[in-house]
Structure 1
Amino acid sequence: MHLSTDEQRLLLQSLEAYLHKTKIFTDAELNLDKLAQGAGISKYHISETLNSYAGKSFYQYINEWRIRRAMEQIRFMNEKALPVNVLTLAYDCGFKAKSSFNQYFKKITGLTPTEYIKSLVAASVTIHD
């Protein structure tokens, strides 16, 4: 049985609250079964909602969460003038390889992680002059 649009919207809200609270998306071994079990939501309903309501695959959705976290961490580290190790950041956000991290980062932001870091550094230098 298919979920209504309202049911999908509510399911997505519930899923996002769960992801925000638990940060389970940083688990490199996360899969649909593990997410469904943790969130207490049917994996079929999650999959249906992501595909038809959000227009994304499970991994696309999770990787977007991972990249958002990476961007937050880069901004935080930049504000504190701390160096960013891209490989450590990739693992910390749930990626198994730097190459897939770079690929998704560029796909979502239009920049590589290094370009993004440089753009923040350049912006902060400009502001503080």
Structure 2
Amino acid sequence: MRRDLYFTDCDLNLDKLANLTGINKYHLSETLNSFAGKPFYQYVNEYRIAYALKEMEIISGQSEEFNFLSLAYKSGFKAKSSFNRYFKEITGFTPSEHLKILRQPKIIV
């Protein structure tokens, strides 16, 4: 999942991931539920948000306008509203709040 960035495919579903990995979809689903303790879409969306956070970290130093819609699509979301909802659910911040925090000057003591 992580190495091949399967989660960035906005049409990724359990069947598609099973075909990509060669793992039976029922086994894959059971493994996620048992060992990861979460259903498929929660698992995928956590990967997507982690990817978005890394991208934001990289881009935060640039002074140009940030395009959250592009980031949502690049991370594997079909809609900005879903991206915003899962981002806030997972991080506790909206994407724009997180970017504002990243762009604050760092104080070195």
RMSD, aligned α-carbons: 1.4
Deviations 1:88-109 (A, max 9, x none): 1001111011111000000110
* 1:65 maps to which of 14, 22, 47: 47
Distance 1:127 1:79 in 2: 15
Higher Cα Rg, which structure: 1
Equivalent residue in structure 2 for 1:47, among 29, 32, 35: 29
Tell me what 1:15 maps to: none
Letter in 1 for 2:86: Y
Bigger Cα displacement from structure 2, 65-74 vs 82-91: 82-91
Structure 1 stretches of 4+ moved >3 Å: 79-83
Q: Deviations over 1:57-80 (max 9, x none)?
A: 100000000000000000000134
Q: Distance in 1 between matches of 2:60 and 2:50?
A: 15
Q: Distance in 1 between matches of 2:107 and 2:65?
A: 19
Q: Which runs of 5+ in 2 are unaligned?
A: none
**Higher RCO (CA < 8 A, seq sep 6+):** 2
Partner of 2:16: 34
Residue aligned with 2:2, SS: helix
Determine if the alignment matches structure 1 residue 86 to structure 2 residue 39: no
Normalised TM-score (structure 2) = 0.92
Report the 3-state secondary structure (helix = DSSP H, G, I; strand = E; otherwise coil) of the residue aligned with 1:22. Answer: coil
Kindly state the Cα deviation for residue 126 of structure 1 after the two structures are TM-superposed.
3.0
Return the TM-score normalized by structure 1.
0.79
Q: What amino acid is aligned across from residue 26 of structure 1 in structure 2?
A: T
Q: Aligned-pair distance for 1:36?
A: 0.7
More helix by share: 1
Code of the residue aligned with 1:126 in structure 2: it is K
Overall identity of the aligned pairs, in %: 55
